[in-house]
Amino acid sequence: MAERGETTTVRSDWTLGEVRALFARPFMDLIFEAQRVHRRFQRPNAIQVSTLLSVKTGACPEDCGYCPQSVRHDTGLEPAELLEVETVAERARLAKASGATRFCMGAAYRSPKPKDLRKVIAMIRAVKDLGLETCATLGMLTAAQAHELKDAGLDYYNHNIDTSPAYYPKVIGTRSFQDRLDTLQAVRAAGMQVCCGGIVGMGEEPEDRVAMLHTLATLPTHPESVPINRLVRVAGTPLADSAPIDSFDFVRTIAVARLLMPRAHVRLSAGRAEMNDELQALCFLAGANSIFYGEKLLTTGNPDCEHDARLFDRLNLVAEPGPEESRVAATG
């Protein structure tokens, strides 16, 4: 039986005090411990590679203060209707050819309408047929919608808690923290894997980062993927002038996520375009083992593929095998 406070078992009973204490550890001790746990639970030197595509862009009725896609913020973004299934399939083919193993389709919805969901389901089937893992992020779901997506073969649903329960209402007014938890519960109950994380650098206090990770790590089952986004400050959004988070505080957030959720893939998500290679390497050392790969996130930029390929080479990182290669490895 492991002692409380040891970081080698998978626990969902973390206290706020314990999470706070992890953040307060000397930087080097924290990173060392995170890498120790990383090596125990994850493949060292392997990175899971996902590609994002915005399948429906902008004109979102929600008011999320960070988001360029809200209809309430004047960001100059050109809205676009739900893409055609063949267009999405073609983009997924390209993503697979360039090395991605998971394809994540994002739509700027508060929640999907039945007609839209039918079309997204056709997209999921087409992407799945290519041998890619599928992920979608479409806003709030009912239990029935979650089941429809699961039946269509959706592997992951992304729905972020975004920040702490206390800071959440300062950033988003059109839906509540509890709404987010309800959708996560519906996704889990339908049997899908959960991709859930948040954003840092939105002017939150360190205690908000403690509470955000505490919320994720005390879900009955940890999310399988935990995206940690560093705010992309888009002109025209209410958070455009937020002071950037200190780089080492960002790395600490990754390390604490790794320690709290040892089996999860922690994704170094939005914000990489503004990070140098050395900072990204430090994030990988702290336990990040997933990235979004491809020149665009949803509407903002991401490092170009050649740059990422070179970064992988320089750090001797390899892409984690996708579903097809894993099957071959298991049977052959």
Is 283 an active-site residue?
A: no
Phi, psi of 49 (to 5 degrees): -115, 115
**For residues 136-195, which are near ligand SF4 according to CB under 6 A?**
139
Per-residue contact string for residues 3-42; x = within reach of ligand SAM by CB under 6 A: ----------------------------------------
Q: Tell which one of 19, 30, 52, 108 touches ligand SF4 (CB under 6 A).
A: 108
297 in contact with ligand DTB (CB under 6 A): yes
CA distance 41 to 55: 34
The CB-of-26 to ligand DTB minimum distance in angstroms stands at: 29
* Contact partner at residue 231 from ligand SF4, ligand DTB, ligand SAM, none, CB < 5 to 8 Å by partner kind: ligand SAM
**For residues 272-311, which are near ligand SAM according to CB under 6 A?**
298
Contacts of residue 52, defined as CB under 8 A and 6 or more positions apart, other chains included, come to 104, 106, 292, 294, 296, 297, 298
Crossing angle (nearest 10°) for helices 277-285 and 305-315: 50
Q: Tell which one of 48, 51, 54, 70 touches ligand SF4 (CB under 6 A).
A: 70
Is 305 an active-site residue?
A: no
Nearest to 258 by CA among 47, 44, 35: 35
Q: Exactly one of 11, 91, 102, 135 is catalytic; which is it?
A: 135
* 3-class state of residue 268 by DSSP: strand
Phi, psi of 157 (to 5 degrees): -120, 125
Nearest to 323 by CA among 57, 119, 151, 96: 96
Q: Exactly one of 67, 102, 188, 252 is catalytic; which is it?
A: 67
Take residue 251 and report the two structure tokens written for it: 């790395």
Residue 95 and residue 55 in contact, taking contact as beta carbons nearer than 8 Å:
no
By CB under 6 A, the count of residues binding ligand SF4 is: 9
Per-residue contact string for residues 17-56; x = within reach of ligand DTB by CB under 6 A: -----------------------------------x----
**For residues 112-141, which are near ligand DTB according to CB under 6 A?**
137
Whose tokens are 């503004």? That residue is 274
Q: Hey, what amino acid is at 99?
A: G
229 in contact with ligand SAM (CB under 6 A): yes
159 in contact with ligand SAM (CB under 6 A): yes
